[in-house]
Structure 1
Amino acid sequence: MTELAQEISDVMDPARARALQVTLGKDPTIEAGDPLPPFYHQIYFWDPHLPQDLGRDGHPKVGGVIPDMGLPRRMWAGGRMEFHAALHAGNPSKRLTYIEKSERKTGRTGPLGFVTLRHEVWQGETLCLTDWQDLVYREDPAPDAPKPTPPEAATDEAVCERVGFDSTVLFRYSALTFNGHRIHYDIDYAKEIEGYQGLVVHGPLLAQHMISLADRELGGLKHFAFRATAPLMHFEEAEVCWHPEGRVWVRGPDGRQCLTATAE
């Protein structure tokens, strides 16, 4: 039996859900008692830490819920969700977190740490959502290290929606998720320390657009699994694409695949 690592309670304030709707360019319509759109749980269950308990990247220091594997760079590599029942705004809720995997390996680019968290979101006696989160930790990039070549995105979509991001959108999403990761708002840190070309668009923010599209096309979601394959910068527009087979992906402006997912 996997050991419980953390339990957090929340009332899932509808005002915060409306703020996310606005951040996504939608009218703020959610009221107490309304079912929340899928993946909106991401803006709840904050786990704030004192400044001295944060790492250099703005995330809580490892060694608490996340084990310390001696690797400074954190990335959300992907995840999967099973939707059991609707979550409702304004209802008392709890999130139980379990560590399903924690291991260190050596890859082509050096040592890597892999952590898989399983979150269960409950309202009352009902398990509404199971959410697996895959995290990867790695070393800082060498200044002369070649950039990995991202995969090419598919072009056989039936639906394509253009989305754009700027620093204000990234700030708002960071605030709504209480995500202090500096790659999303500190451009000097993102460029000079982590080697990006600009501010990095949150993987979960891109996933939210994918999930919203899949939910609309399918008329509801039971399962969703996504994987990040290349970062998207704040100055780039992207295309969120859907294929009726249940495939969803994010295509960057140069045709690269940023995220890929399956939905049903």
Structure 2
Amino acid sequence: MDPARANALRVAMGDTACFSKGSTLPPFFHQIYFWDPRPPEALGRDGHPKVGGLIPDMGLPRRMWAAGRMQFNAPLVTGTPAKRDTVVETSQRKEGRTGPLGFVTLRHEVYQDEVHCLTEWQDLVYRKDPAPDAVKPEAPQARTDEETRQDVRFSSTLLFRYSALTFNGHRIHYDLDYARDVEGYGGLVVHGPLLAQHLMLMAQAQLGPLETFQFRATAPLMHFETATLCSKGRDFWVRGPDGRQCMVASA
């Protein structure tokens, strides 16, 4: 786990802290490791690896990282090899209010020096393309009773750098024409894991080393919008500029 990659993420997020060999990684920084490069012909139209291998093909082209859970057993450190095993824990197709939905849960187990350091559950949702006249679902309103808050902005440069560091080819994060014209978003979409990363760093700063963390995305945030990171006790959430709830989490 190369410390240079962790330093690149720190700098991209506006922090000058420097990692060296043997440094403890902050929670969720493992997202920038375990790349799985695929050749161009093995990618789908959205830039993600084509489904039909590990993840079954349900005929639904739009992918979203809907939620995640983590159990931290031991710290990950830089300068030491690590291994991640991944399995599909559940996979099912259902009918929702807006049409068919596919739900996939991946379970990742991360080991370092034969120590089981982390278990992560990744919940993915697949859906069909939006109809031209489709009404966008109304986002829930976020809480306003926070004890701490922090405003954060996400430039298109940051989204590109985070995509590069996580080797995430999803075009909704850097291809404005695709995000707007194909998937129906109002702008570039801020990565759900990037929002979760901010909340995890806030949680660790307030609570100390984390044992568990879980988050759920509830509405997309666009790159031109200011997000407010909020916390109260062990609850954390992201509020959009119009008051909508973009993510909820607990630690």
> Which TM-score tier does this pair reach, normalised by the shorter chain?
over 0.9
Partner of 1:148: 137
Query: Take 1:258 and 1:146, find their aligned partners in 2: how far apart are those partners?
Result: 18
Task: Please give the secondary structure, in 2, of the residue aligned with 1:242.
Answer: strand
CA distance, structure 1, for counterparts of residue 49 and residue 138 of structure 2: 30
> Are 1:19 and 1:28, in contact at CA under 8 Å, matched by a contact in 2?
no
Q: Distance in 1 between matches of 2:54 and 2:20?
A: 33
Structure-1 residue corresponding to 2:237: 249
| SS of aligned partner of 2:65 | strand
Pairing 1:262–2:250 present? yes
The code of the aligned residue for 2:12 comes to T
CA displacement at 1:140 relative to structure 2: 0.2
**TM-score normalised per structure 2:** 0.99
Corresponding residue pairs, total? 251
In structure 1, what is the equivalent of residue 98 of structure 2? 109
- How far off is 1:28 after superposition? 3.7
Q: Which residue of 1 aligns with 2:149?
A: 160
Candidates 44, 48, 53, aligned match of 2:42: 53
Which of 227, 248, 251 is the aligned partner of 1:238?
A: 227
The CA deviation string for residues 110-154 of structure 1, in whole angstroms up to 9 with x for no partner, is: 000000000000002110000000000000000100010001000
- From 68, 77, 85, the equivalent of 2:74 is 85
Counterpart pick for 1:183 among 155, 158, 172 = 172
Quote how far apart the aligned CAs of 1:52 are.
0.4
Which residue identity lines up with residue 137 of structure 1 in the other structure?
Y
Instruction: State the superposition RMSD in angstroms.
Output: 0.5
Partner residue of 1:99 out of 82, 85, 88 = 88
The 4+ residue runs of structure 1 with deviation greater than 3 A are: none
> Distance between the aligned counterparts of 1:156 and 1:44, measured in 2?
36
Q: In 2, distance between residues paired with 1:191 and 1:168?
A: 18
What TM-score, normalized by structure 1, do the two folds share?
0.94
Distance in 2, Cα, partners of 1:251 & 1:22: 24
Q: Deviations over 1:232-256 (max 9, x none)?
A: 0000000000101x00000000000
